[in-house]
């Protein structure tokens, strides 16, 4: 089953340009003579397959991203974690949710659920509690665990695909990456626990956090992410969640051919067929 992955945003939490900064990358990001690939909005992706659109995160730039990509529907959202650069666009699901026959499912870990309920409290009130009729029609769905209680590899079947939880470490937080068919998206990651590594084999596309050239306590940096690519051996890898310390063209030149920096609006095509689904063997 073919899937188109679109990078809605590829920037770090502050976005690029960083407000107030006049460095070469921030200037290039917004100058007509600059490199538009240096303009990085807050990170998220959309996945289009089987006539459905599934998002991973809705950041603070979601409205502008949806306008830019002419996005007309959202059928589900998987959240990676509760930080502002990943959740604050949730309210912009409102008009899309009114067009949807059923509430849009939002898949969340317990921390993200409690933060969403707090930040968008008016959305999750019952009508008896004074819920606005114009609130987003969304439904919180806790991410499942496996029968043995573990999160790693727990599966969420959706629209003919299977999304798998891939626990990753984000500084002091444990957050969620996802694998879907032959691709995986691991944003906001400072490390990948050993238990998650077996679920990241045989990938066509691996998308990793690579904040900047120097190490950072809660984000992977270039050399560390390159080392993960060499260890996991996906066919192609793309870096995201990037700061203004990475110039697109100059950094790409330093990378091996199968690793590229992602940029806002970049589209990738891959097979989202679940590995265990009937019919997959026929395509091998």
Chain residues that interact with Zn ion, rule: CB under 5 A: 13, 18, 21, 23, 26, 83, 85, 188, 244
Residues 6+ apart with CB under 8 A from 5: 45, 46, 47, 183, 205, 267, 268, 269, 270
Q: Which pairing describes strands 104-108 and 138-142: parallel, antiparallel, or unpaired?
A: parallel
Rounded-to-10 torsion of CA 185, 187, 193, 198: 10
d(CA 255, CA 89): 32
The token pair at 253 is 């030149």
The answer to whether the Cα torsion of 53, 92, 169, 222 is positive or negative is positive
Please say which residue, 18 or 225, places its beta carbon nearer to Zn ion.
18
C-beta of 229: minimal distance to Zn ion in Å? 20
Please say which residue, 17 or 274, places its beta carbon nearer to Zn ion.
17
Distance, CA of 230 to chain centre: 22
Please say which residue, 23 or 275, places its beta carbon nearer to Zn ion.
23
C-beta of 111: minimal distance to Zn ion in Å? 11
C-beta of 54: minimal distance to Zn ion in Å? 19
C-beta of 191: minimal distance to Zn ion in Å? 14
Please say which residue, 4 or 111, places its beta carbon nearer to Zn ion.
111
């Amino acid at each position: 089953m073919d899937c188109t992955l679109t990078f809605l945003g590829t920037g770090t939490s502050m976005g690029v340009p960083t407000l107030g900064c006049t460095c070469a990358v921030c200037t290039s990001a917004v100058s007509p003579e600059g490199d538009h690939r240096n303009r990085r909005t807050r990170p998220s992706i959309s996945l289009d397959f089987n006539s459905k659109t599934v998002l991973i995160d809705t950041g603070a730039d979601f409205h502008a991203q949806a306008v830019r990509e002419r996005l007309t529907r959202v059928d589900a959202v998987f959240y990676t974690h509760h930080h502002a650069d990943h959740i604050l666009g949730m309210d912009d699901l409102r008009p899309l949710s009114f067009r949807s026959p059923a509430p849009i499912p939002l898949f969340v870990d317990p921390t993200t659920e409690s933060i969403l309920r707090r930040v968008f409290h008016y959305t999750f009130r019952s009508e008896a509690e004074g819920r606005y009729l114009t609130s987003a029609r969304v439904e919180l769905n806790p991410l499942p665990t496996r029968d043995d209680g573990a999160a790693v590899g727990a599966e969420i079947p959706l629209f003919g695909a299977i999304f798998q939880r891939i626990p990753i470490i984000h500084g002091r937080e444990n957050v969620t990456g996802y694998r879907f068919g032959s691709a995986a998206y691991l944003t906001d990651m400072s490390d990948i626990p050993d238990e998650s590594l077996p679920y990241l084999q045989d990938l066509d596309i691996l998308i990793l956090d690579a904040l900047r050239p120097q190490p950072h306590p809660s984000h992977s940096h270039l050399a560390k992410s390159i080392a993960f690519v060499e260890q996991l051996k996906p066919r192609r890898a793309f870096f995201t969640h990037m700061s203004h310390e990475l110039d697109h063209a100059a950094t790409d030149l330093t990378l091996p051919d199968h690793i590229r920096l992602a940029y806002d609006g970049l589209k990738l095509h891959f097979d989202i067929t679940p590995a265990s689904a009937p019919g997959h063997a026929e395509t091998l």
